[in-house]
């Protein structure tokens, strides 16, 4: 099988590595290219967009793709929507590998919002020191607010930072002790994050609960229906099943 993996998560890399180790399929691993320091993968890799639904549809046909696995970040909604539509046009099987969302444990103080633009209204007008972990591309809503920010990012943002922002460059995973120490050192009063559901960055939520801090949680965007799984193992089973069905069709 010729499989296109739309990457962007640690699970995408793990799936790519597992499939490559079996040497039963040809894998093309696609990244949007928003992070220059993406970790390496052992397969053929492409960087950049496809040019919308039409471009992705053309790519699937031109490269004789047999199956598509959408393992993008939970907030890469446009890519996930394009993947569903393009796979439907080409009558190709598509699987969405979506890590489980975080759920508030007992004692946690979470406030949910449906978009990053809604966060400033929830933060209010009284100045606070906010730990902002929503990524380096979502800074515009915070430019005119009265708060101080601690921003953590893998790479230096290309966009201007909000006033009164301290930037930390770091890549997870982060330990609970480190997160508690960081928040305590800076006197953080509130944590803002997207519901990415990653184990590599979940310690900040435990740290906020230990410190009795408010968490403003940006909920995931709605996506079109698709067959989904929550683990690399399930995705491998799906690939094996589709490979068997493809063999039967060719006989």
Domains belonging to the chain, first-starting first, are 2-99+223-250 (3.40.50.720), 109-218 (3.40.50.720)
> So what's the pLDDT on residue 248?
42
Amino acid 249: pLDDT: 45
Residue 116 backbone dihedrals phi, psi, to 5 degrees: -65, -30
3-class secondary-structure state, position 88 = helix
pTM of the model: 0.89
Query: pLDDT tens, 196-237?
Result: 998 888 999 999 999 999 999 999 999 999 999 999 999 999
Beta pairing, strands 109-113 & 129-133? unpaired
Spans of the chain below 50 pLDDT: 37, 247-251
Give the containing element (helix H, strand E) for 79.
helix 77-89
Model pLDDT, residue 40: 67
Query: Which 3 state secondary structure label does DSSP give 121?
Result: helix
Q: How many residues does the chain have?
A: 251
Terminal alpha carbon distance of the chain? 15
Identify whether the C-beta of residue 15 lies closer than 8 Å to the C-beta of residue 230.
no
The confidence score (pLDDT) of residue 176 equals: 97
Of 76, 70, 114, the closest CA to residue 96 belongs to 70
Count of CB atoms situated within 10 Å of the CB of 132:
27
| Backbone phi, psi, residue 137, to 5° | -100, -5
Reduced 3-state DSSP string for 163-215: CCEEEEECCCCCCHHHHHHHHHHHCCCEEEEECCCCHHHCHHHHHHHHCCCEE
């Amino acid at each position: 099988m010729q499989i296109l993996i739309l990457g962007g998560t640690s699970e995408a890399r793990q799936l790519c590595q597992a499939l490559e180790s079996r040497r039963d399929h040809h894998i093309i691993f696609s990244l949007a290219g928003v992070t220059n320091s993406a970790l390496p993968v052992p397969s053929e890799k492409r960087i950049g967009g496809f040019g919308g639904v039409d471009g992705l549809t053309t790519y699937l046909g031109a490269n004789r793709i047999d199956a598509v696995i959408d393992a993008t970040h939970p907030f890469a909604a446009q890519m996930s929507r394009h993947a569903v539509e393009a796979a439907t046009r080409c009558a190709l099987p598509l699987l969405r590998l979506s890590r489980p969302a975080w759920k508030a444990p007992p004692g946690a103080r979470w406030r949910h919002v449906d978009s990053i633009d809604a966060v400033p209204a929830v933060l209010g007008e009284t100045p606070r020191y906010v730990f902002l972990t929503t990524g380096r591309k979502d800074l515009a809503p915070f430019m005119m607010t009265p708060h101080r920010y601690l921003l953590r990012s893998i790479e230096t943002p290309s966009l201007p930072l909000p006033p009164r922002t301290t930037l930390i460059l770091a890549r997870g995973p982060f330990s609970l002790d480190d997160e508690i120490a960081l928040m305590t050192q800076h006197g953080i009063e509130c944590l803002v994050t997207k519901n990415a559901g990653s184990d590599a960055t979940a310690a900040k939520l435990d740290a906020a609960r230990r410190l009795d801090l408010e968490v403003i949680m940006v909920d995931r965007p709605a996506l079109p229906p698709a067959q989904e799984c929550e683990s690399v193992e399930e995705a491998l089973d799906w690939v094996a099943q589709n490979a068997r069905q493809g063999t039967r069709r060719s006989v």
